[in-house]
Each structure stands twice: as structure tokens, then as C-alpha cells.
């Protein structure tokens, strides 16, 4: 099994150069977690396949992100990493003898020198390579069968997870390079999808063009693509993919990512088929989104940034003739939330919605979203080298707008404009942004620029 993925990782010296420091940093984090837990060894299980009920067909395998934080092996089930402070980490590498399926090849790549690799051909043999003093171990991973724990009783202790999850928010140089590469990969797909939309393709066909451009199957993508034409753009997690082309393609919302060595990109763009009111509204939202990205820096409370975005959106709503009133009133009456019901963004990395978005400290203190904004996934103060998404939206969602009828907000909404824009669905623009001490690195816009075109 090679962790390399064609042009996005082959011959990339930055990955190999930064990997040693990355492994050392991950080791420090795990050592701190072990000290807090009063344990001597961390055993990290990659995971095992899950099978459909009454079937011998497995669901797509998704590796434990704690395992992926050590090694770029996204398709290596039934394997283990053992971390003991002061010692070289052990990788128990499961290589089954199987003529029904393709099996992992010999371990190779820039990462191999950093591990004591033990190849096994029977999963039961993994126990021989784990620490003998099981009572001094903590095990991290999804255990679906007691035999997978090999007698380790402390499985996923919460205080250990809290520390690791908090620390994982800050990305190493290696992780940042993986995410830049994932952004470039996703941008290739976005360009192909936009071109397919302009040729009049169906949602299903646009999706196929996207996958071909990023060289990944549905199962290899970090999440199910949202490919939404017309009114479907108002369904926040639309994944149905109509096979037939609509009689008229008015608008196109695409929320689609890519994966490189386990790290995700998450990008959204919206397009209008013709000049006019909806295209003008996209341009207003583009300006708003760039304004919000410009406010990202270390020390900013993401909750405040989310509320500030609603204030900015109030201005867009009034300028576009969708609502009237001052920003504070439109927020207080729920008008902005009816048009923009989801959160401004989230942490991203080994998981698209990365962990610890609401976690305040290692004790598990939860930082709640602001009142009236329950779907905000990130409520922490931004720290240098976090990577977050910035994804404001504006949608015509009748279920939410109808809730305003019979309230003081009803008179603030201009329903004739709502009716005109309903056939276009909605707008979302999303970038992946690295937090800097005094600003931000926009991974998404940089990737579009490298591919020679506008974002």
C-alpha cells in the first residue's frame, strides 16, 4: 500500500521534510495525554470493517482519525500503533493473505523510517506486539469486538480524548501541506463541475465529472458531494443527484471536497446561469464572505464572528430587497436566521467537521453556541494554525420563512422578492482558512489562483 496519491503527493519534498517534526509533535501530545491518564502506553486501533445486516458486504472503511494522525494509511483496517514515551512507535501492520480482495502491499513511503513496523497476517497476532502490562495501557479507537482490545480495559477515556482533540485543532506544517494539496485537488473538481453545469449536464453527470477530475471515487471523497441545481440549492445537505437534466438550469450550488493522505478540503461555490438579480446577489455574498475571511485571526471568538456575519447579512438582505430594517432588529426577530440557518463554519482537518469545536478545556467544559444559533459547530477562540471553514449562506427555505408569518418579522420580509428568488434555491460560498497571528491564509483561494483562474 502506497500512501502517495499521484500528482498531489508524488515528488512533493515538503511532505517528507515536515513529516519527522509532525510525528514528534503527535508523540508529545500523546505523551501528555498518557501522563494525564496515569498510563504508560497508548494503543491506537485503526478500526475494522462494518458489515451490512444479514450480508457479507462491508460498508466503506473509515480509519480512526487518531490512527491517521500518525500515519497516512487510510485503508489499513485491523492495525495498531503503540506509543510509549521515549521509544520509537510500533506499527502493527495487518496484511491479510487473501485472494478475494486486493491487500495492502509492503509498507513504503516517506513515513516508514519513523516506525518499528511489525507485519502480521492474522489479526489475532496483533496481541503479541502490544505491551504486556495491559493495565498500564489506554486504547483509542472503535472497538466492536472485545477481542480487538486484547485485554485492555481503559478504552477511549474521555480526559485523554479531550486533550488530544484540543491539541489536534492546531495543525502542524505537514498537516497544512496535506490540506493545501487537498484544496488543489478539490479545485480541479470544482472547475470540472462548473464547466459541466455550463454545458447543461444533470446533477448526476456533474458529480461524475467532479470525481473524474479529482481522481477519487464516492467512497474516497471526505463527504458526499452536494450537487444542487435550481431549488435544490435550498436543501442544505442535498445529495440526491437527479439523473435528468432540468428543463431550465437557473443556478448551481456545489459543496464538494477532496482527500489527501487523510486530510480534507471542503469548498462551496454558487453560480447563476444568466445575468440578473440572482447573480448580483451571489456577488454581494462573495463580498460578504471575503469581508468575514478578512476578520479571521488568532484571538477572535468564533461566536462573535458568526454574529457579526449575521449583521453583515442583514445589510445584504436590505440591499437586495429581501427585507427591511436595521441589522440588530433583523437579528433579534430571527429574519437573518431564517435566511442563514446554519453556522458560519467549523474546524477541518482529519475530519471534515473536526472534533472539539465546542470543547473549552481538557475537563470537558462545553462552550455553547449563542442563543438562537444552535447549529454553530465552532464556539472556541481562534488559535494560530487552526484551519476553519468560512461559509456564510443565504437561502429561500419556505419551512423557515413560514415560521416568521404571524410575527413582527413578517412585515420585515419582502415576500415578492422571496417569490422571485425561490426558483434559484440559495447561495453558499465556503473557503478553508488557516488562522495566523494577524490574519489568515486562504487555502481555497490560493488553490484557485494556482490553477489560473478566479475563485
CATH 3.40.350.10 in the chain: give the residue spans.
Answer: 6-168
Specify the pLDDT at position 252. Answer: 98
Q: Among 178, 174, 214, 172, which Cα is nearest to 193's? A: 214
- Going by the DSSP 8-state scheme, the letter that residue 49 receives in this structure is -
Specify the pLDDT at position 339. Answer: 98
Please say whether the structural domain 6-168 has been given the CATH code 3.40.350.10. Answer: yes
> Residues 281, 209: contact at Cβ < 8 Å?
no
- DSSP characters for 325-338? S-HHHHHHTTHHHH
- Going by the DSSP 8-state scheme, the letter that residue 1 receives in this structure is -
Specify the pLDDT at position 4. Answer: 43
Residues of the chain with pLDDT under 50: 1-5
Specify the pLDDT at position 24. Answer: 97
pTM (whole model) above 0.85: yes
Specify the pLDDT at position 7. Answer: 59
Q: Exposed, middle or buried by CB within 10 Å (0-12, 13-18, 19+), for 98? A: exposed
Specify the pLDDT at position 9. Answer: 67
Specify the pLDDT at position 12. Answer: 77
Q: At what angle do helices 13-37 and 158-168 cross, to 10 degrees?
A: 150
CATH 3.90.230.10 in the chain: give the residue spans.
Answer: 173-450
For residue 219 the three cell numbers come to: 467512497
Q: Please give the backbone phi and psi of residue 239, each rounded to the nearest 5 degrees, phi first.
A: -135, 20
- Tell me the per-residue pLDDT of 146-181, one tens digit each, with 9 for 90 and over: 999 999 999 999 999 999 999 999 999 999 999 999
> Residues 117, 70: contact at Cβ < 8 Å?
no
Give the start-end residues of each E strand in 103-261: 116-120, 137-140, 226-229, 251-260
How far apart CA 448 and CA 450 sit, in angstroms, is 5
Question: In angstroms, what CA-CA distances link 273 with 49, 278, 332, 371?
Answer: 43, 9, 34, 37
Specify the pLDDT at position 191. Answer: 98
For residue 397 the three cell numbers come to: 427555505
Specify the pLDDT at position 5. Answer: 47
- Going by the DSSP 8-state scheme, the letter that residue 233 receives in this structure is G
Domain 173-450 class?
alpha beta
How far apart CA 200 and CA 189 sit, in angstroms, is 17
Specify the pLDDT at position 13. Answer: 81
Amino acid at each position: 500500500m502506497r500512501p502517495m496519491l499521484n500528482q498531489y503527493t508524488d515528488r512533493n519534498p515538503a511532505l517528507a521534510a515536515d513529516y519527522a517534526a509532525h510525528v514528534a509533535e503527535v508523540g508529545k501530545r500523546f505523551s501528555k495525554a498518557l501522563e494525564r491518564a496515569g498510563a504508560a502506553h497508548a494503543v491506537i486501533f485503526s478500526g475494522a470493517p462494518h458489515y451490512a445486516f444479514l450480508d457479507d458486504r462491508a460498508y466503506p472503511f473509515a480509519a480512526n482519525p487518531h490512527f491517521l494522525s500518525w500515519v497516512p494509511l487510510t485503508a489499513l483496517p485491523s492495525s495498531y500503533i503503540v506509543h510509549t514515551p521515549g521509544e520509537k512507535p510500533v506499527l502493527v501492520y495487518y496484511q491479510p493473505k487473501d485472494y478475494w480482495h486486493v491487500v495492502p502491499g509492503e509498507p513504503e513511503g516517506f513515513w516508514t523510517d519513523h516506525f518499528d513496523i511489525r507485519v502480521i497476517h492474522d489479526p489475532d497476532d496483533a496481541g503479541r506486539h502490544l505491551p504486556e502490562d495491559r493495565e498500564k495501557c489506554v486504547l483509542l479507537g472503535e472497538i466492536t469486538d472485545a477481542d480487538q482490545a486484547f485485554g485492555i480495559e481503559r478504552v477511549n477515556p474521555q480526559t485523554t480524548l479531550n486533550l488530544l482533540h484540543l491539541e489536534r485543532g492546531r495543525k502542524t506544517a505537514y498537516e497544512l501541506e496535506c490540506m493545501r494539496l487537498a484544496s488543489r485537488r478539490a479545485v480541479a473538481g470544482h472547475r470540472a463541475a462548473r464547466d459541466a453545469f455550463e454545458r447543461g449536464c444533470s446533477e448526476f453527470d456533474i458529480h461524475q465529472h467532479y470525481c473524474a477530475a479529482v481522481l477519487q471515487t464516492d467512497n474516497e471523497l471526505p463527504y458526499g458531494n452536494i450537487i444542487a441545481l435550481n431549488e435544490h440549492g435550498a436543501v442544505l445537505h442535498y445529495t440526491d443527484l437527479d439523473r435528468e437534466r432540468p428543463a431550465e438550469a437557473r443556478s448551481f450550488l456545489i459543496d464538494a471536497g477532496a482527500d489527501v493522505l487523510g486530510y480534507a478540503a471542503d469548498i462551496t461555490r454558487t453560480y447563476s446561469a444568466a445575468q440578473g438579480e440572482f447573480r448580483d446577489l451571489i456577488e454581494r455574498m462573495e463580498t460578504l464572505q471575503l469581508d468575514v475571511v478578512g476578520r479571521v485571526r488568532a484571538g477572535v471568538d468564533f461566536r462573535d464572528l458568526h454574529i457579526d456575519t449575521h449583521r453583515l447579512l442583514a445589510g445584504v438582505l436590505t440591499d437586495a430587497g429581501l427585507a427591511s430594517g436595521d441589522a440588530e432588529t433583523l437579528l433579534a426577530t430571527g429574519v437573518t436566521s431564517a435566511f442563514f440557518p446554519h453556522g458560519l463554519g467549523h474546524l477541518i482537518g482529519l475530519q471534515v467537521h473536526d472534533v472539539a469545536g465546542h470543547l473549552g478545556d481538557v475537563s470537558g467544559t462545553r462552550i455553547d453556541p449563542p442563543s438562537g444559533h444552535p447549529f454553530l459547530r465552532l464556539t472556541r477562540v481562534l488559535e494560530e494554525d487552526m484551519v476553519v471553514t468560512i461559509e456564510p449562506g443565504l437561502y429561500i427555505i419556505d419551512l423557515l420563512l413560514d415560521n416568521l408569518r404571524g410575527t413582527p418579522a413578517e412585515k420585515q420580509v419582502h415576500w415578492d422578492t422571496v417569490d422571485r428568488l425561490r426558483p434559484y434555491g440559495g447561495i453558499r460560498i465556503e473557503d478553508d482558512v488557516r488562522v495566523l497571528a494577524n490574519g489568515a491564509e486562504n487555502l481555497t483561494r490560493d488553490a484557485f489562483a494556482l490553477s489560473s483562474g478566479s475563485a
